[in-house]
Amino acid sequence: MSTVPHYIMSKDNPQIKRVRALLQSSRERREAGAFVVEGVRLVEEALAAGRVATLFVCPELLTAHARSRVFLDDLRDDGDYALTHVTPDVFAAVADTDSPQGVVAVCLMPEEAALGPTATLAVLLDGVQDPGNAGMILRAAAAANADGVIFGPGSVDPYNPKVLRGAMGAHFRTALLNLRSESAVRACAGLLPQRVMAAAQDGARYDSVDWTQPTLLIVGAEAHGASDLGVSLQTAAASVPLARGVESLNVAMAAGVLLFEAVRQRSPDAAH
């Protein structure tokens, strides 16, 4: 598809209204099978993954910085997406950040992912509703080379704009399973025989758990902890020792500590 751009000068353009709808509504995203990313870095990740359907750029904003100018210059070649230029006023209508860089992409959701039979490490978000935490957990899972991240019932939409920003491109680097029924989560969790709940307290010390086994890490809701589903799935619980007077870790930070303990134990240089 040629990237010779169209030009949009009205906020009432149907394409602009569609972008706003995708930003604001998880239902719109599900029905369209599409989501929106903003900013040079995230758009580059989406382009590299071949997920971009339509690219909206504001040259006046992109040319304000050297890094963005290079990105704009690279768009002169043909690509498998539609390229649309917009005015600064129109771009403000589709920007979801305080300091927009001048590029937004409508991306296609991947085909429904599944944990493969050789999966050895995955994460279940069990009612995690804060988009920032969800994004950071996704980012940590991708960095730990996890085989997948499951968004279970009650968790935030994984394609929420704040989740996308927090994940810093992890959506394009790890398998993401958006499972909204208990039966689907149970079937997926059953592929991993060890299922460890991240516990604020009363769990085994995290580095005493054998993370070399095929493992599902379960992280519960920020305010209420694990759901009945999460509790029923767990085969063990792991806690991170904290200094006196500290009640708990942020759920995303706890997930990162546990994931990288798994990485440490699985390293060829780890002492067993």
Average pLDDT of the chain, as a whole number: 93
36 CB neighbour count, 10 Å cutoff: 25
Residue 1 lies in a domain: no
Mean pLDDT of 8-32: 96
Q: What is the rounded CA–CA span in Å between residue 63 and residue 48?
A: 22
The one-letter code for the residue type at 126 is D
Share of residues in the chain with pLDDT > 90 (%): 81
State pLDDT tens for residues 68-113.
999 988 886 557 899 999 999 999 999 998 889 999 999 999 988 8
**What pLDDT, in 10s, does the model give residues 29-38?**
999 999 999 9
Name the one residue in this structure whose structure tokens are 């899972």.
Answer: 141
Whether residue 147 sits in one domain with residue 214: yes
Using the 3D structure, point to which of 108, 131, 156 is the last residue of a domain: 108
Query: Distance between CA atoms of 7 and 20, rounded to whole angstroms?
Result: 18
Q: What is the mean pLDDT of residues 14-42?
A: 97
Closest among 20, 49, 224, 230 to 123, alpha carbons compared:
230
* Exposure string for 131-154, b = 16+ CB within 10 A, e = fewer: bbbbbbbbbbbbbbebbbbbbbbb
Residue 132 has pLDDT above 70, yes or no: yes
247 pLDDT higher than 90: no
pLDDT above 90: residue 249: no
CB 13 within 8 A of CB 90: yes
Domain assignment of residue 24, given as a range: 6-108
**Domain contains 116:** no
Boundary (domain end) residue, out of 58, 86, 108: 108
**Region 20-47 average pLDDT:** 96
pTM above 0.85, yes or no: yes
Residue 5: band (very low, low, confident or very high) from pLDDT cuts 50, 70, 90: low
**Within-domain flag for 41:** yes
State residue 206's pLDDT score: 97
Q: Which two tokens stand for residue 160?
A: 């929420």
Q: Is 60 exceeded by the pLDDT of residue 2?
A: no
Residue that the structure tokens 């029905």 belong to: 31
Residue 134 and residue 71 share a domain: no
Across 2-11, 21-30, 57-66, the highest mean pLDDT is recorded for 21-30
DSSP assignment of 184-235: HHHHHHTTSSEEEEE-SSSSEEGGGS-TTS-EEEEEEBTTTB--HHHHHH-S
pLDDT of residue 231: 96
**Residue 270 in contact with residue 154, Cβ under 8 Å?**
no
- The pLDDT, as a whole number, for residue 77 is 57
CATH number at residue 23: 3.30.1330.30
Residue 62 — very low, low, confident or very high, per pLDDT cuts 50/70/90?
very high
Identify whether residues 99 and 149 lie together within a single domain: no
Task: Answer whether residue 100 is part of any domain.
Answer: yes
Contacts of 72 (CB under 8 A, 6+ apart): 57, 59, 62, 63
pLDDT computed for residue 78 by the predictor: 59
Does residue 94 lie within any of the structural domains?
A: yes
101 and 205 in a single domain? The answer is: no
51 and 159 assigned to the same domain = no
Rounded to a whole number, what is the largest CA-CA distance in the chain?
Answer: 63
pLDDT tens per residue across span 169-198: 999 999 999 999 999 999 999 999 999 999
71 and 143: one domain? Answer: no
Phi and psi angles of residue 209, each rounded to the nearest 5 degrees, phi first: -80, 140
Residues 95 and 139 in one domain: no
